[in-house]
Amino acid sequence: MRPRHPDLPRLWMMTDERQGDRLWAAILRLPAGSGVVFRHKNTPEAGRRRLFDRVRRIAAARGLVLLLAAKDAKARRWGADGAHHRHPHAPRYGTAAAHDLREIRAAERSGASAVFLSPLHATRSHPDTPSLGRMRFAALTRATRLPVIALGGMDRTRGYMAMRVGAHGWAAIDAWS
């Protein structure tokens, strides 16, 4: 039986520069209790911080979990709920990205509280990356005790399909925009 993780959001949005002003409507579409991974890694630092602060205010008002794709120290300084891709510091969230079993094992060793496993399907974010497909995704999900968040070409239908084969939840960019 898969362990339950009641405090970990099941629905996630990954931010991306290509969302532009659609970012704001997308955040408002997220149900309370969902999560946001703030990336915008190609935005110059000062602009990235201003954008993050605006997202942080909205997330706090709407009851969303907000992770910063950065080192833990920066996530703490910026007031995020945790870091994505880094070792977490309790009681904060910390998540890691994985694309195969080796990266899942690295996430487990890092102390991550969840792993974003991708790409389940073909995705516009990484068009040249081969997708895992449902069978391989399900096998990788069963290979870890970490909660798995499905990512890559996701929408509501595909998200719930991923949850039926073992994912804790799902994340998307375009599905929310």
What is the distance between the alpha carbons of residues 88 and 94, in angstroms, rounded to a whole number? 4
Distances (CA, A) of 101 to 19, 104, 117, 138, 147: 30, 5, 10, 12, 14
Instruction: Give the burial string for 77-101 (b: 16+ CB within 10 Å, else e).
Output: ebebbbbbbbebeeebbbbbbbbee
Are 26 and 19 a contacting pair, CB within 8 Å? yes
Domains and CATH numbers, the chain: 11-172 (3.20.20.70)
On average, the pLDDT of the chain sits at 91
Per-residue pLDDT tens listing for the chain (177 residues): 344 556 899 999 999 998 999 999 999 999 999 999 999 999 999 999 999 999 999 999 999 999 999 988 899 999 999 999 855 555 467 899 999 999 999 999 888 999 999 999 998 877 788 999 999 999 999 999 999 999 999 999 999 999 999 999 999 998 887
Peptide bond into 147 cis (omega under 30): no
Are 14 and 152 a contacting pair, CB within 8 Å? no
**Which distant-in-sequence residues (6+ apart) come within 8 Å of 68 by Cβ?**
38, 52, 74, 75, 78, 80, 82, 83, 84
